[in-house]
Chains A and B, each alone.
Chain A
């Protein structure tokens, strides 16, 4: 560990603090303070006019009660959609990550490059492209319709399935890469050992590969789930008024209706639910596998 500690020559007591100070100060002002500001807002009452709102801090916990009762449906839906998207990402990403890690040979780097490539196109434009693909008069709908696989309403766009599909598409990269990294780290000798000891393929998968890939599965799940649960673009572009999520509510309350206290309370509910998960995660596995 001597290498990590650095050479004694430049070891100084204040040097590290001087190095971290600028960033911590910046994040203090533009990350921590805004959260306090948001928290205060969430416990305030709003008076004044629509054009000149006046917020008064009043320990108004009623905002939380209102947010929870009025938007319970959106909260549950967001967690449901994000959960489905995370599971779909895992199912779609695992074979690809596995093939790249173990079977791609000299095409490994090419495949990794290909996987990253779609994400050089702006998020919104990719989502608009899905709108074209899933359109009512598009070839996907007519193809599914002709084999009788179309859902009852006869359309794909503006359904919950389309929103989940969009969430899956937009964040699958955060599942593929951690999965790939944890699979790639597996020592091939462990697999040989498993085979030499007469382990069947299924047992090798369950007892060797899966446990070793678990950090990747967990990191990927978190990295997909968090942006999915707070998203409002996919629900906005690919969904309908029946598929709105927490993000849509926060966005609308903040920027259109301008009911700041309820919007802030909503943000805090979302944040608190996620934060608990993240802290449990970092406590259990550390931050190393997250990025």
Chain B
């Protein structure tokens, strides 16, 4: 998803003159409707982070309060679950990044027998339903007699992240002018200097995009984690358990906070890139 988004964000704007006179209004209205559809639940989440719920469930509006925002980590189990999820996301992304990037670079830069087969194979995990991946990993762990917990969650997350990373990096570095490396070497730069000054700057944006995607996917994963977690509780697992027992408004507070932080990071990244393009 972010592959598309980032290529989209960096591609030059293009528009053409003239438009469908009749369908124009309908199109714009349809687009606006879809945007409303997209943001309706988000608005509800933000509004309900200020709710003063009467019972255990934060489902109906009772009254405005800032209490939830004053104590976002009131429930230690929620805070711990979030911490654990951040930990799993960071560690699994680091491992998957190494494995996935190597494959991506090999697929783009090298010609070798079986390249097409590897290419297709890397796509398969993306097209397997999560419930089947979770179930199959569980049967493996059961048959090996492994206790499910932190390690099995980590192993499962790396397994689904590798393909996302390989495909994201591949999409971003395909079509680069690799003769720049030859030019650098021909002009007398050492291989190390060539790698640092030419190759790395070319592939780093792709790696960063892939890492962000992988981190986000790991943080959000529920289905696969549900199968292989044992008694380990990640953030989505905490939220799921909460829907059966009690949904504290702090869930909305943290969701809103994560949304705002992502938004700020996105804005900073965009501004930074724009500044670099301007000064270049």
Q: Which chain A residues have a beta carbon within 8 Å of chain B's beta carbons?
A: 2-7, 9, 11, 13, 15-17, 19-20, 22-24, 26-27, 30-31, 33-35, 37-38, 40-41, 55, 92-96, 98-100, 102-106, 108-109, 112-126, 128-133, 135, 137, 169, 172-174, 177-178, 180-181, 184, 188, 191-192, 195, 201, 205, 222, 226-227, 229-233, 237, 246-247, 250-251, 254-255, 260, 263-264, 267, 270-271, 274-275, 278, 282, 287, 290-291
Contacts and interface: CB of A to CB of B under 8 A. Distances in A.
Contacts of B153: none
Given A102-B16, A129-B48, A205-B20, 11 more contacts: A7-B181, A27-B162, A30-B158, A37-B139, A92-B34, A100-B31, A123-B220, A124-B236, A247-B223, A254-B227, A291-B171
Contact of A201 (B23, B143, B227): B23
A7 B182 CA distance: 7
B78 interface: no
Contacts of A23: 99-100, 102-103, 122, 162, 166
A125 B28 contact: no
A251 B131 contact: yes
B137 A30 contact: yes
Contact of A16 (B7, B44, B106, B251): B106
Given A34-B136, A169-B37, A270-B129, A124 B239 contact: yes
Contacts of A114: 35, 38-39
B136 to A, nearest CB: 4
B239 to A, nearest CB: 5
Contacts of A274: 127-129
Given A92-B34, A103-B19, A169-B37, A126 B45 contact: yes
Interface in B46-61: 48, 59-60
A117 B42 contact: yes
B247 interface: yes
Given A15-B110, A290-B123, A122 B239 contact: yes
Given A7-B182, A124-B236, A95 B30 contact: yes
A235 B42 CA distance: 20
Contacts, number: 312
Interface of B: 1-5, 7-9, 11, 13-16, 18-23, 26-31, 33-35, 37-42, 44-45, 48, 59-60, 98-100, 102-103, 105-112, 115, 118-133, 135-140, 142-143, 155-156, 158-159, 162-164, 166-168, 171, 176-179, 181-182, 185, 216, 219-220, 222-223, 226-227, 235-236, 239-240, 243, 247, 251-252, 255, 258-259, 262-263, 266, 270
A104 B129 CA distance: 35
A267 B4 contact: no
Given A106-B13, A177-B4, A254 B243 contact: no
Nearest to A98: B27
B222 A250 contact: no
10 contacts: A3-B178, A38-B135, A102-B16, A113-B270, A120-B262, A192-B16, A201-B23, A267-B131, A270-B129, A291-B171
Contacts of A251: 131, 226
A274 B129 CA distance: 8
Interface of A is mostly: helix
Contacts of B132: 38, 230, 250, 267, 270-271
A3 B179 contact: yes
A250 B176 CA distance: 44
A26 B14 contact: no
B169 to A, nearest CB: 11
B44 A132 contact: yes
Given A30-B158, A37-B140, A274-B127, A172 B38 contact: yes
Contacts of A109: 9, 270
A178 B118 contact: no
Nearest to A126: B41
A129 B42 contact: yes
B37 A254 contact: no
A16 B115 CA distance: 9
A226 B59 CA distance: 30
Nearest to B252: A125
A260 B16 contact: no
Nearest to A176: B34
B99 to A, nearest CB: 4
Contacts of B8: 112, 177, 180-181, 184
Contacts of B60: 132, 135, 137
A23 to B, nearest CB: 4
B49 to A, nearest CB: 11
A22 B102 contact: yes
A102 B15 contact: yes
A104 B110 CA distance: 39
Contacts of B28: 95, 99, 103
Contacts of A55: 143
Given A16-B112, A95-B27, A121 B127 contact: no
Given A30-B158, A180-B4, A247-B131, A291 B167 contact: yes
B274 to A, nearest CB: 10
